[in-house]
Amino acid sequence: MGQTIIEKILAHNTGKDVKPGDIVTVNVDRVMLDDIMIPFIVDKFHEMGFAKVWDPDKVVLIYDHLVPASQQDDTRHFRVGDAFVEQYGIKNIHRSDGICHQLMTEAGYVKPGHVVFGTDSHTTTYGCVGAFSTGIGYTEMASILGTGTLWVKVPETIKVVIDGKLPEGVMSKDVILRLIGDLGADGATYRALEFTGSAVKDMSIASRTTMANMAIEAGAKCALFTPDEKTEEYCEIKLDDFQKSLVGDPDAVYLKELHYQAEDFVPVMACPSQVDKIRNVSELEGTVIDQVFIGSCTNGRLEDLQAAAEVLKGKSVAPFVKLIVTPASRKVYEEAAACGAIKTLIEAGAIVTHPGCGLCCGRTGGILSDGERVVATNNRNFLGRMGTSKVEIYLASPRTAAACAVAGKIVSPV
């Protein structure tokens, strides 16, 4: 019997034949600790009685959510984190270099076939390069830091096939939002999403990253793309035989298969305040907005900033709208500046901030108040995420968001 991608990764890691529902103990290739969770991880690590970290070189600590500090208690997280890495010899530390999920692949920490855990739900992102990655809590992370292992249940897989060519103005954000709408917010709970098809193969790593990032919004345990020549270039590696094998077998058993024709996709939005409340942008046109946010681990990459700049070139943000742009990393910021995208965004009236999580998690400027509406490119539109519980958050692609910033209302990007 054939295997799905997740079954191949877990079988290779454990040296065992695996099937959905099996409980296996994996050897962890890399872990990511974020600044929000570090004090709780450290407390639990010491409570468990560990005297050393199993492999300091496999641990990455990233300060991104709380940088720069916007509340008094934020600096405690920095102090606790710095003390922990100094005590246990951890060298992989990023202080305001960008968002954790951008840096983990961008900086080369994650490779195809790896088993990776992080203390953030959007750790599913690294499936963009063919890694099994998923979010865990601070207790599980403390256990990994002491042992280097964790048990997981082998998930069933939903195969998503997308063939054809995406229409002009449609981005991978529109694709994943449509899928979440079709599956529902719990439609892929503890399942793997496996993406394939000609349209998927044509996608850049940045576009695949957006889709893997948002897989958790349908409840997915992980999202996986087959490594290819684009993965090799991005990860700066040559795929070995195992990594080349990470494709779903023709006779693999899937929970179900979903088939889409790329030409059928249109620009969409997730409407307040549910990620699976998906509507075509054309149905929402004319809705007045107060702010636009382009950034986050979902859509803060160079490709996203360039798409927004293309829409905004020679135009101006509506006078009553704030457009906040937050690059996903310093590297992205530098590349966007070098190619002229930052200049175009600034000339249009955008506020460009330091790289980091920023407004996505309701921090470091730009939070909104009762009755205000924001079009944002991040991954969640829950009540209270970007200000008060009476703020309306619409999730969209960078192209759509940029078009809305100019119009001062929801409009289609084409």
Cα-based distances in Å from 98 to 10, 102, 327, 389 = 30, 7, 8, 27
Which residue type does 405 have? A
The dihedrals phi and psi of 298, each to the nearest 5 degrees, come to -85, -45
pLDDT at 216: 98
Cα-based distances in Å from 333 to 182, 348, 354 = 34, 17, 8
Roughly what angle, to the nearest 10 degrees, separates helices 330-338 and 341-348? 80
pLDDT at 315: 98
- Asked if 346 and 313 touch (Cβ cutoff 8 Å), the reply is no
**Secondary structure element (H or E) that encloses residue 403, with its range:** helix 398-407
Cα-based distances in Å from 245 to 4, 154, 289 = 10, 18, 47
- Give the C-alpha separation, 36 to 367, whole Å: 19
Q: pLDDT digit string (tens) for 150-187?
A: 999 999 999 999 999 999 999 999 999 999 999 999 99
Cα-based distances in Å from 122 to 46, 87, 127, 262, 391 = 26, 28, 11, 25, 23
With a CB cutoff of 8 Å and minimum separation 6, the contacts of 293 are: 324, 326, 358, 359, 360, 366, 374, 375, 376, 377, 378, 386, 401
- Give the C-alpha separation, 159 to 190, whole Å: 14
Residues linked to residue 76 through DSSP beta bridges, in sequence order: none
With a CB cutoff of 8 Å and minimum separation 6, the contacts of 266 are: 167, 170, 174, 280, 281, 282
Residues linked to residue 30 through DSSP beta bridges, in sequence order: 116
- Asked if 113 and 243 touch (Cβ cutoff 8 Å), the reply is yes
The dihedrals phi and psi of 33, each to the nearest 5 degrees, come to -110, 130
**Secondary structure element (H or E) that encloses residue 238, with its range:** none
Q: Where are the beta strands (DSSP E) in 96-176?
A: 115-118, 132-135, 149-153, 156-163
Within 10 angstroms of residue 12's Cβ, the number of other Cβ atoms is 16
Domain annotation for the chain: domains and CATH numbers: 5-262 (3.30.499.10), 270-407 (3.30.499.10)
- Give the C-alpha separation, 33 to 41, whole Å: 8
Q: Is the pTM of this model over 0.95?
A: yes
Q: Write out residues in the chain with pLDDT < 70, as ranges.
A: none
Residue 149 in 3-state DSSP? strand
**Secondary structure element (H or E) that encloses residue 282, with its range:** helix 281-284
The dihedrals phi and psi of 311, each to the nearest 5 degrees, come to -70, -40
- Give the C-alpha separation, 118 to 104, whole Å: 10
Q: Which tokens belong to 49?
A: 């009685």
- Give the C-alpha separation, 210 to 297, whole Å: 8
Dihedral sign (CA 104, 194, 379, 375):
positive
Residues linked to residue 276 through DSSP beta bridges, in sequence order: none
- Residue 98 is classified by DSSP as B
pLDDT at 390: 96
